[in-house]
Amino acid sequence: MSSLLSSCSGVFFLIGTNSIRNNSASEVIAQVDNLIDLIRSHHTHLKHQTDISISSVFPCLKPSFLFSSISTLLSNINNYNTLLNDLATRKNFTVVDLPITVDQLNHDGMHIHINHLPYLWSIIQQYFDILVYQKTTKPSLSHSRSRKAIARRNKRRHEKQKKRQAIQTVTRPIARIWKLQDLKTYLKYKNIKYGRLPEIRHHQLCIQFNNQLHQQHAEQILNFTDFDEQSYYNWISHEHS
- Summarised one tens digit per residue, pLDDT across range 18-32 is 889 999 999 999 999
Same domain, 7 and 93: yes
Same domain, 106 and 10: yes
Same domain, 189 and 127: no
What pLDDT, in 10s, does the model give residues 45-56? 888 888 899 999
Same domain, 120 and 200: no
Contact 66, 21 (CB under 8 A): yes
Q: Tell me how many domains the chain contains.
A: 2
What pLDDT, in 10s, does the model give residues 139-176? 554 455 567 777 777 777 767 666 665 678 888 999 99
Same domain, 100 and 181: no
| Per-chain mean pLDDT for the chain | 84
Same domain, 25 and 84: yes
Total residue length of the chain: 241
pLDDT of residue 232: 94
In the 3-class helix/strand/coil scheme, how is the chain assigned residue by residue? CHHHHHHCCCEEECCCHHHHHCCCHHHHHHHHHHHHHHHHHHCCCCCCHHHEEEECCCCCCCCCCCCCCHHHHHHHHHHHHHHHHHHHHHHCCEEECCCCCHHHECCCCCCECHHHHHHHHHHHHHHHHHHHHHHHCCCCCHHHCCHHHHHHHHHHHHHHHHHHHHHCEEEEECCCCCCHHHHHHHHHHCCCCCCECCCCECCEEEEECCCHHHHHHHHHHCCCCCCCHHHHHHHHHHHCC
CATH number of residue 199's parent domain: 3.30.70
Closest C-alpha to 76, from 88, 66, 86: 66
CATH number of residue 56's parent domain: 3.40.50.1110
Residue 195 lies in a domain: yes
Closest C-alpha to 40, from 79, 91, 106, 4: 91
Give the lowest-confidence range in 126-130, 141-145, 216-220.
141-145
Closest C-alpha to 13, from 115, 98, 122, 117: 98
Distances (CA, A) of 228 to 43, 49, 84, 97, 184: 54, 43, 35, 29, 15
pLDDT band at 213 (very low <50, low <70, confident <90, very high): confident
Distance CA 214, CA 93 (A): 22
Same domain, 33 and 97: yes
Residue 128 lies in a domain: yes
The domain of 66 spans 2-136
